[in-house]
Chains A and B, each alone.
Chain A
Amino acid sequence: MPEHVASIKMYVGVFLTLMVFTRITVWVAYQDLGAWNDIVMLTIAVTKAVLVILFFMHVKYSTRLTALTAISGFFFLAILICMTLNDYLSRFQLLGPLVPGK
């Protein structure tokens, strides 16, 4: 299998995109969007991670097995987080009223 050699332009392009996303995250963090703050930040983080995985880690040019491996890792992490949250979100507030910062 001849190795895929990606262009320097592509790598630099991905790098610049990641930097722009970082700047956007910081900017968004200072806007008060309520619950949307978290959603936007996480969406950007996931997008950045996907870019790194696809291009820097060459998953885009690798076998299906590699992609499946990466996906399964995140899938089981999602199971861990969701099933645990499932408990906490359906429990009584054990920890008392929350105190807002400052």
Chain B
Amino acid sequence: MASTAYDNRLEGLAAPHGGHHPSLQHQFDSLEQQKESSTLGMWMFLITEIMFFGGLFTAYVIYRSTLHGVFAAASHELNVNLGAVNTAVLIGSSLTMALAIRAAQVNRQKLILLFLFLTMLLGSTFLVIKGFEYAEKFEHSLVPGPGFQFMGMTYRGFAPDPEHVSPEVLQVGDKAQIFFSLYFIMTGIHALHMIIGIGVLLWLFILSWKGRFDSTYYNPLECAGLYWHFVDIVWIFLFPLLYLIGAHVH
């Protein structure tokens, strides 16, 4: 029906997007468009991450407001020093990540490798410290579930002698499980993001080793950086919300 229209257009019309750069994908017209798209895509992904953690923060806010005293008491069990050290470690890794991207911007290939390595190292340090914290919680029976013990009281269902325990205290014990559940889920999912992040950085490290990135093309570094900084931001909120709420109560 409209056959002549496309026939006219068929003649000698080569697509104008010659692939000049080996990293330019066919659907984009220019490296700039590609870079803008991937950065925007990464930000859209970070929005989903905000909402993903947001569900947890909502649960936290609700229970913090309804179980305020319980949360303060339970928070007391967390190790503020380790938490603070971890905050410093993570902020440090954000710095090295930012510097890795800067190294790509100024074409310093060796520096990219150095800073990526440092970022992974600091990230792993964070996870190791986190592991020690988790181990401590397991030792002190602060893991929710049948074996949970808080303030010397066992979980209600398994209390050896419920008659010698005042009901209020038992209630605190039970409710503190909510705090520790949130603690494990929030820090656990955060740690999972760190592990994924380190995996991504490892892959980028290999690509940088092959000299794939320079000042004309470094979107993957930029996107990984955005992700890494986001994970850092989550921790910036987790640290005061989980570790510090009961610190001044003695």
Contacts and interface: CB of A to CB of B under 8 A. Distances in A.
Given A73-B50, A77-B50, A85 B65 contact: yes
Classify chain A: how many residues form its interface, as a range.
Answer: 35 or more
A41 B246 contact: no
A99 B102 contact: no
Interface residues of B, number: 66
Contacts of B172: 99, 101
Contacts of A95: 66-67, 175
Contacts of A11: 95, 98-99, 102
B62 to A, nearest CB: 6
Interface in B78-101: 80, 84, 87-88, 91-92, 94-95, 97-99
A15 B47 contact: no
B165 interface: no
A48 B236 contact: yes
B237 A29 contact: no
B102 A8 contact: yes
A22 B92 CA distance: 12
Contacts of A30: 247-248
B57 A81 contact: yes
A77 B168 contact: no
Contact of B66 (A65, A70, A74, A88): A88
B69 A101 contact: yes
Given A22-B87, A29-B248, A73-B50, A52 B68 contact: no
A95 B249 CA distance: 22
A60 to B, nearest CB: 13
B91 A22 contact: yes
Contacts of A22: 84, 87-88, 91, 239
Contact of A29 (B43, B57, B169, B244): B244
A72 B247 CA distance: 33
Interface stretch (B8-16, B140-148, B196-204, B225-233): B225-233
Contact of A56 (B54, B73, B97, B244): B97
B124 interface: no
Interface string B93-130: 01101110010011000000000000000000000000
Nearest to B92: A15
A6 to B, nearest CB: 7
A84 B225 contact: no
B236 A52 contact: yes
Given A88-B62, A98-B67, A100-B73, A8 B99 contact: yes
Interface of B: 32, 36, 39-40, 43-44, 46-47, 50-51, 54-55, 57-58, 61-62, 65-70, 72-74, 76, 80, 84, 87-88, 91-92, 94-95, 97-99, 102, 105-106, 151, 168-169, 171-172, 175, 215, 222, 225-226, 229-230, 232-233, 236-237, 239-241, 244-250
Interface of A: 1, 3, 5-6, 8, 11-12, 14-15, 18-19, 22, 25-26, 29-33, 37-38, 41-42, 44-45, 48-49, 52-53, 55-58, 62-63, 65-66, 69-70, 72-74, 76-77, 80-81, 84-85, 88-89, 93-102
24 contacts: A8-B102, A15-B95, A26-B244, A29-B248, A30-B247, A30-B248, A45-B241, A49-B236, A52-B232, A52-B233, A52-B236, A53-B233, A56-B97, A65-B40, A69-B43, A76-B54, A77-B54, A84-B61, A93-B66, A96-B171, A99-B69, A99-B171, A101-B74, A102-B151
